[in-house]
Amino acid sequence: MDPATHEHLPGIRIASGSLGQGISAAIGAALSKKLNKESNIVFSMHGDGELDEARIRNAMLFAVHYKVDNLMARIDWNHQQTDGETDKVTTLGNIRLKFDAFGW
């Protein structure tokens, strides 16, 4: 069973992994829905270790600039990532303040 397809997990369109591509895909889907005047909301889920990736911050800035307001991003803040505890790999500080600072 492939977890990245809607055939096996209804409503799930992509499983992107830990490198930060998921937020960009979610923003693209949300922007597409917005441009097509659809009222759907796109949901995305990310691990706290994934927030180490600079592409996350770039995507967040893009979403704010283009007023992508139909996306809900959820962070699994479990303090773990592939390489160990997040604070030992890269200290994230207050994630909420970072999202607020980026206009989320």
Percentages helix, strand, coil for the chain (3-state, rounded to 5) are 40, 15, 45
pLDDT in tens, 50-75: 888 889 999 999 999 999 999 999 99
Residue 61 domain-assigned (yes or no): yes
Residue 2 domain-assigned (yes or no): no
Annotate 66-84 with b (16+ C-beta within 10 A) or e (fewer): eebeebebebeeeeebeee
Residue numbers in the chain where pLDDT is lower than 50: 1-2
In angstroms, the CA 69 to CA 103 distance is 11
Count the Cβ atoms, other than its own, within 10 Å of residue 94: 9
Residue 4 domain-assigned (yes or no): no
Residue 10 domain-assigned (yes or no): no
Domain count, the chain: 1
3-state secondary structure 44-65: EEEEHHHHHCHHHHHHHHHHHH
Domain that holds residue 27: 21-101
Residue 12 domain-assigned (yes or no): no
DSSP bridge pairs for 80: 85
Residue 92 domain-assigned (yes or no): yes
Q: What is the pTM of this model?
A: 0.84
What pLDDT does 6 receive?
59
